[in-house]
Structure 1
């Protein structure tokens, strides 16, 4: 069976399609960081060293990438924002994920960011992709977050 998910270079024209149907939990994470989903996607596309869109049957359903925070230290901030539709293809995400996590590590061998403590699907996906998700919570604008990392010694 042919995969319904394709990963393509992210483009500005993908932003509205994804932002208008962003998962509620992803919206909450963006708002806690002081951004709308649309603004977070625009900013992610503009400042990421690498950025892709996951399409389902040709329709943009998620955007993800990595922002290089410290080039010398090799630290990057990975991010992933998507619709409910992309998460309906969990097996395909699990299969495709390691390839793209490795590509994120090309520019930043150490990856770290925050995920909402209530974003169970994302936490499970991150763990399956080899990230360590911490137990300690920190509150940002009323939303509990946990740090996730990969590549730390």
Structure 2
């Protein structure tokens, strides 16, 4: 992506909140500092505590490829989420059952369900966004074949 940035046209997808590069018939979607800040702000508004990266190998580990220093994407996320916005707390269930299952008191079960619901939301969101991306790719390929056949 860093090598392609200087020789391609950059566009910003307002739906995905991410940039993509186009060079001839090749395009690549990616996240940069700007898009990660937008997504981190959205997560903050939802009240979640972090983001998931689908691949850490997309960051510039050496700091020599993009000219933005070492780990520009991870550094952006770290700077956003490492503030004193949230103080982590740890609590233990007040009762245990040693028959292979854990019993929770009423005050402990609610945070567990909230965490599960947030996890479920992000799984559904990930599946939905993957479907959107696949649909977008199919649409782009279809448009290109239509343009090629009309010429």
Q: TM-score, normalised by structure 1?
A: 0.27
Report which of the two structures shows the higher radius of gyration computed on alpha carbons.
Answer: 2
More helix by share: 2
Question: Higher relative CO (CA 8 A, sep ≥ 6), structure 1 or 2?
Answer: 1
Q: TM-score, normalised by structure 2?
A: 0.28
